[in-house]
Chains A and B, each alone.
Chain A
Amino acid sequence: MTAGWEIMAPLDLDKYAEIAKQCKYLPENDLKRLCDYVCDLLLEESNVQPVSTPVTVCGDIHGQGDFVDRGYYSLETFTYLLVLKPNGPTASRSCVETMRADRSPKFMASMFVHINNLKLICRAHQLVHEGYKFMFDEKLVTVWSAPNYCYRCGNIASIMVFKDANTREPKLFRAVPDSERVIPPRTTTPYFL
């Protein structure tokens, strides 16, 4: 008599990685299994996850390669990130900043940095036309990694490379020129016409 439990083949991460690297997405059941697997990994991590330098910080990528919106290849990009997760990058969820009505963002950032003995707050989730932007006496930097966001914004993107806690270097990049990219046929132009 069976216990009624399905016996499944082990997750073939290498095969999934091969598919994702070709900018393709997985069959639905495989993607679901991959999601479940990564969920288990994320649940084991704490909200604050230590990493050691050297480290490269990336901001939002939106399927120009966002988590499933705003780029033609959002699903493929998301799949690729899932495949990378077991071996590597630390995905940060959105940093929740609680601000009292009477305190300015600058004050809160300075206080947070001081109390936690930090050198810098590095965050994403906000469009920056120049790719990265330092604020609040360089206590905070926003890193944005989606060039020409929505294929319309015309912005530059960046990643921030930390050799060590004191040595940082932004690397800027533009969107791939039209002549070098594949644009799927069914797309509505994102303007008012």
Chain B
Amino acid sequence: MAARQPFTDTDTSDEAVRATCDDATTCKRFATSKGYWKDPYIQYFARSVGERKAPEINRGYYARVQGVNHLLDAFIRKAECNCQVINVGAGLDTTFWRLKDENLMPRKFFEIDFPTVVARKIHNIKTKPPLSKPLIETHSTDSLLLDAHSLDSDRYCIIGADLRDISNLDEKLKKFQLNPELPTLLLSECVLVYMTPSQSSNLVHWAAETFHTAMFINYEQVNMSDRFGQVMIENLQRRQCTLAGVEACQSLDTQKERFLKTGWEHADALDMMTVYSMLPQDDVARIERLEFLDERELLQQLLQHYSICWATKDKLNLGLSQLVF
């Protein structure tokens, strides 16, 4: 009988990465409960509001969600919904349900994450009608294709896979009718930083090779070579979470470079402080009144160490490189 493999460093690290999904979910749950933005579906993934989060964390998640959604929605509108969205490392994200409510659904919405995360999400979807109903409504037959680590329907598909195994990822996506001819948006929020630069490079290269008209939106750390970055690396290491890809997070230029050198035509990047200043300021004023922030520099320091980078290739000439804030 084969001996069970001992827990490797990768296993522990992967477990810590999977745990970040809970951090993001509970922070978004708390922020939405305070009124920062509306998300009627997140309660089905995180039952209780949980511990209070600091105001700069709430504001920072607001900026992240608003910033990413702005670009995502602009892409879908540009393609007139005749497109695909692939959310890599999606965790317990609720974007699919938001897009359905707002009549902005792409032809198909794909989500990928580790099999154990996906299994949890599928369980939640299956057992909560507000989550399953929209899937069933948009599906042509009475039953959804379902197994332990994947769920497929006409408009929504979630796949358990390891993003570092590109051939397996490609195979699974194609099995679930991924259409390389459709303009495609790929989205990663704090995902690439957890894999090595080489592994993330393979992923973004695969995307550039697979789609002729596409946008890749990447939200994660930036400007990491300072003391703040060092403290973050140490803090996360203490919970066994390794920022294996932090090398690509040195500057806005390194974030853009990883796309430009793997076949993407165009890339832009902004730090989150800039994004925050470009969001609709009346809504920013509204959320700033929700909670008093005692030290504005705390928010500034955080926002300056995160960025949104978006890369495009545009064979169909949709004007993707003109999508801005």
Contacts and interface: CB of A to CB of B under 8 A. Distances in A.
A88 interface: no
Interface string A114-138: 0000000000001100000000000
Contact of A152 (B23, B190, B232): B232
B231 A127 contact: no
B20 interface: yes
Interface in B190-242: 190, 226-228, 230-232, 234-236, 238-239, 241
A153 B24 contact: no
Interface stretch (B54-62, B106-114, B312-320): B54-62
A192 interface: yes
Given A188-B26, A189-B23, A150 B53 contact: no
B302 interface: yes
Contact of B24 (A127, A178, A186, A192): A192
Given A152-B232, A153-B228, A154-B227, A188 B51 contact: yes
A192 B231 contact: no
A4 interface: no
B142 interface: no
Contacts of A33: none
Interface residues on A, range: 20 to 34
B235 A127 contact: no
Interface string A139-176: 00000000011111110000000000000000000000
Interface in B51-96: 51, 53-54, 57, 60-61, 64
Given A154-B227, A192-B24, A193-B190, 13 more contacts: A126-B295, A127-B297, A152-B301, A153-B228, A154-B228, A178-B234, A186-B51, A188-B53, A189-B23, A191-B302, A192-B27, A192-B190, A193-B24
14 contacts: A69-B294, A70-B54, A148-B231, A149-B298, A150-B54, A150-B298, A152-B228, A152-B301, A153-B298, A186-B51, A189-B239, A190-B57, A191-B232, A192-B190
What are the 7 A-B residue pairs with the smallest beta carbon separation, nearest first? A193-B20, A154-B227, A154-B231, A193-B23, A127-B297, A154-B228, A127-B295
